[in-house]
Structure 1
Amino acid sequence: MPGLAVIAVTYGLARFGFGLYLPQFRAAFGLSPGTAGAIAAASYVAYCLTAFVAQRLAGQGRARWALWLAGSTAALGSLLVAAAWSVPVLAVGALVAGSGAGAASPALVAAVAATVRPDAEPRAQALVNSGTGAGVVVGGLLVLTVPDAWRPAWAAFGVAALLLTAWADRASRWPTAPETRPDAPLRDLVRPLVAAVLAGAGCSAVWTFGRDLMTGAGALPDDTTGLLWCVLGGAGLIGGLSGDLVLRIGLRGAWLCSTGIAAAATLLLAALPGSPAAVAVALAGFGTAYVALSGVLIVWGGHRLPAAAPQAAAVLFIALTLGQAAGALVLGAIADAASSRTAFVVAAALVLAAAPAAEPAALRPAAGSGDPRR
């Protein structure tokens, strides 16, 4: 439970909260879609840098340091957002807040492995992973109940990040011996790397501009969009069954299914952003598909490099996040030059472009293939 709570605040709130509160930020600071996309892109890049540092700390037996890197950056960034008096301060706050999630995953993977029994570890890792959806639901409920109180909400995110990090620290056992890590050569990951970058770029539209599209082009009220954001988070819990999906229909089938649903959901949101029923279907499909495709990437990396599955998973998730950074930047520019709906159509095309990269063979997941946390 403490690990789940840390993932909820670092991923679901501090990282994805920028897209959730983008309508309020645009009203308060006059942000254009291009500027918002640039801020989101910088946050994604910061996530990758923090993930790299945390991976090294965990490998040196300092996973506890990585946990506090996650909690402190999420807290500091959230408090900066809460106090922001200008666009540059808001940008720095969002960047720092979003970076914390990158350190949370490596720290908590190590904590769970050292704390629970080996036979209970897969279920414990899955439970911790579900925190992303839980955090997204909490954020949606906040917007639903107090849509204009974004400053108190972000201040609460900061305080919660520190308190929950301390809770997870006290509840965990921490490995101290450095890990022996085999190399993960990039040449063996070319196909999944390309797929991860393209999928990340396309999926950035919903995470960064989804709620802004609903309130802008769709003219939906804040309480409605807050409730719909809860649908997105709740559906993400279903995506955690991606491992079972691979077992049933193979890696290629699971990848085609998850990318196809994500693209269709993005197109549906672009076509009918003012219809609550259509948006609910779109966000439910996207939430499920996004978490599922993240899980498929982990299985994919494990099959490409079975002796270095966790390292392969880390590389692929950094690629997914770099794709989100590029996507947020490019799609924001497209929204500025054309329209938000046009940007979402381009985003769906990017996700579809990732679909054919999947392995043609029906593969089965390797044991111990990593942490499907996104």
Structure 2
Amino acid sequence: MIKYSLKSCFMPSPSNQHFPLAFTAACVAMTSVTYGMGRYAYGLFLPSIGAQFDLTTFDLALIASLNAILYLVATIVASATAIHFRPRTFILLSGVTTTAGLLLAGMATSVAVATVGIVLAGIGAGILSPAMFEAIEAWLPAPWKPRAIGAVNAGAAPGIVLTGLAAYWLQSSWQQAWIVMAGIGLVVTLWHFWLIPTARLPRPASGVALPLGFSLFTRRACMPLYVSVFVYGLILSTYLTFAVDLVLSTGGMAFPMDRLFWVLLGLAGLPAMLTGAAVLRLGVRGLLAISMPACGLSYALLALAPGNQLVVLTSAILFGAASIAPGNGFLVWGISLFRERPSIGSGTVFVVLSIAIIIGPILFGIIATQICSQGFFLVMAVLSIVIIPLFPRAIFTTGRAGDQALLDNPTADF
């Protein structure tokens, strides 16, 4: 009897009252593995990886960009095909891919094998997101959708915390930490194998209001989204890839305190799981107008005083708290522009974000050698302010009234 009750609570169908909470929790767990570990751990371990394999800053930047390129390819493929498969298939595939990549990098004895593992770990996140957001849109009731998007978008934070703790406990070897993360990934993947429903997504109606085509992506309403997301991608990738290296090189922190910098960064991001409700209250514009300049301030702090430990910690807290919220706003914005195909909306956001993440580390690797790292960080701080006029005036919701307004005038300037 107890076993049956637990199963009905934690392994519900989409029609079960327990499903929204259980499914959201499951998605957050997998996001922690694929993003918090698979995508972002490289930035924390970048100095150690560079030292072990004698890599230059530009070499490390190329690995980061290659990681982003294949993540982009995975996102495009998953976005185009997610609706034709069960979400469970893609979610499990993302967990297996990330776990295999983490394990391979953790056991690598050459830079080539380590690079393959790092890149493979990053691909899992691209596989995960489109199907997950299709499922959120199809399976969750309207009041839960913004909450789930906010929680999942912030789901990397627990993974970042666990990554930092693993790195701190296993100070002697970054590879041992990656093996531990692979173990966590395996546990989460097996949990999903038992937990996630096997149901298919409902097929779209025969008369889709927003048919796929080139003109759909070149609407005037989409252009501000693309520019804003691109700048956000530059800001996100540069900080997560090179902030620890900047702090270590300028004496702001010494090993192993840089591991705690990463833990603090993740802990500060946990409250961002509640930003789904902020979209409804503030609108996308309000949320972005607050969070993007806050990210810029965290950049300015590191640029102006990277050797001051108090300033460094303040920057980590500020960036951890502020950097996740914009992604939530951009996802709601994107899905609202592609309402009939949520995976296309989320996929478009991730594609533009990925392009910026590809370019960001390369730009840093080139420009930082011409000026200084602090100068590049100051440029990022300025960009976070410059793009504010592009943010939309509409308060996007998951309700059909807002969707119909968009469909009635798909070229509207939001």
User: Retained in 2: the 8 A contact 1:115–1:173?
Assistant: no
The answer to whether 1:199 aligns with 2:223 is: no
From 224, 245, 259, the equivalent of 2:257 is 224
AA at the equivalent of 2:69: V
- Whichever residue aligns with residue 34 of structure 1, its letter is F
Per-residue deviation, 1:128: 4.3
CA shift, 1:145, in A, is 2.4
Aligned match of 1:186 = 217
- CA–CA distance in 1 between the matches of 2:211 and 2:234? 27
Q: Structure 1 residue 354: deviation in Å?
A: 3.0
2:95 equivalent in structure 1: 71
Measure the CA separation in 1 of the matches of 2:227 and 2:142.
33
- Whether 1:239 and 2:263 are equivalent positions in the alignment is no
How far does the alpha carbon of each residue in 1:81-117 deviate from its partner, in whole angstroms, 9 at most, with x for none? 1122233322222111111111122344456677777
Give, as a single letter, the amino acid of the residue that structure 2 aligns with 1:5.
Answer: A
Distance 1:230 1:274 in 2: 19
Structure 1 residues 170 and 56, CA gap change in structure 2 (3 angstroms):
farther
Q: 1:197 to 1:129 in 2, by over 3 A?
A: closer
Q: CA deviation at 1:234?
A: 1.6
In the alignment, structure 1 segments of 5+ residues that lack a partner are 370-374
Deviation at 1:286, TM superposition (A): 1.3
* Contact kept in structure 1, 2:133 and 2:342, CA below 8 Å: no
- Secondary structure of the 1:169 match is helix
- Give the AA of the match of 2:259: G
Give 3-state SS (helix, strand or coil) of 1:21's partner.
helix
Instruction: Determine which of 161, 165, 172 is the counterpart of 1:137.
Output: 161
Take 2:268 and 2:61, find their aligned partners in 1: how far apart are those partners?
25
Matches within 5 A, 1:1-374: 1-109=25-133, 123=147, 126-176=150-200, 179-180=203-204, 182-183=210-211, 185-188=216-219, 189-359=222-392, 361=393, 363-367=394-398
Indicate if the aligned counterparts of 2:167 and 2:177 stay in contact, CA closer than 8 A: no
Q: TM-score, normalised by structure 2?
A: 0.80
Separation in structure 2 between the aligned mates of residue 109 and residue 249 of structure 1, nearest angstrom: 22
8 Å CA contact 1:201, 1:351 repeated in 2: no
Q: Are the counterparts in 2 of residues 302 and 312 from structure 1 also a CA contact under 8 Å?
A: yes
Q: CA RMSD in A?
A: 2.6
Cα displacement (A) at 1:274: 2.4
Distance 1:366 1:302 in 2: 10
- Which residue identity is paired with 1:367? T
| Letter in structure 1 aligned against 2:247 | M
Aligned AA (2:184): A
Assess, with a 3 A threshold, how the Cα gap between structure 1 residues 325 and 54 changes in structure 2: closer, same or farther. Answer: same
Does the CA contact (< 8 Å) of 1:37 and 1:328 recur in 2?
Answer: yes
Name the SS of the counterpart of 1:222 in structure 2: coil
Q: Cα offset for 1:40?
A: 0.7
SS at match of 2:124: helix
* 1:86 counterpart letter in structure 2: S
Displacement of 1:154 in angstroms is 1.0
Residue type matched to 1:156 in 2? Answer: V
Contact 2:151 2:274 in 1 (8 A): no
Measured at CA, do residues 146 and 40 of structure 1 come closer, stay the same or move farther in structure 2, by a change above 3 Å? same
1:115·1:174 contact (CA, 8 Å) conserved in 2?
no
Equivalent residue number for residue 372 of structure 1: none
Identity across matched positions, percent: 30
Structure 1 residues 86 and 151 mapped into 2: Cα distance closer, same or farther (>3 Å)?
A: same
Q: Which amino acid aligns with 1:29?
A: F
With over 3 angstroms needed to count, the CA separation of the structure-2 counterparts of 1:340 and 1:86, relative to structure 1, is farther
Larger-gyration structure (1/2): 2
How many residue pairs get aligned? The number is 367
Bigger CA drift: 174-183 or 324-333? 174-183
Residues 173, 203 of structure 1: CA spacing in aligned structure 2 closer, same or farther, 3 A cutoff?
Answer: same
Answer with 95-104 or 305-314: which moved more.
305-314
Residues in 2 aligned to 1:183 and 1:277: alpha-carbon distance in whole angstroms: 52
The worse-fitting range, judged by mean Cα deviation, of 283-292 and 245-254 is 245-254
Change (3 A) 1:126 1:215: same
Which string of whole-angstrom CA distances, capped at 9 and with x for unpartnered residues, describes residues 268-303 of structure 1? 112222222211221222122221111111232244
Letter of the 2:195 counterpart: A
Contact 2:146 2:279 in 1 (8 A): no
* Structure 2 CA distance for aligned equivalents of residues 93 and 87 of structure 1: 10
TM-score scaled to structure 1, two decimals? 0.88
Q: Is the CA contact (8 Å cut-off) linking 1:4 and 1:127 kept in structure 2?
A: yes
| Structure 2 counterpart of 1:94, one-letter code | I
The separation in 2 between residues aligned to 1:321 and 1:365, in whole angstroms, is 23
* 3-state SS of 1:237 partner: helix
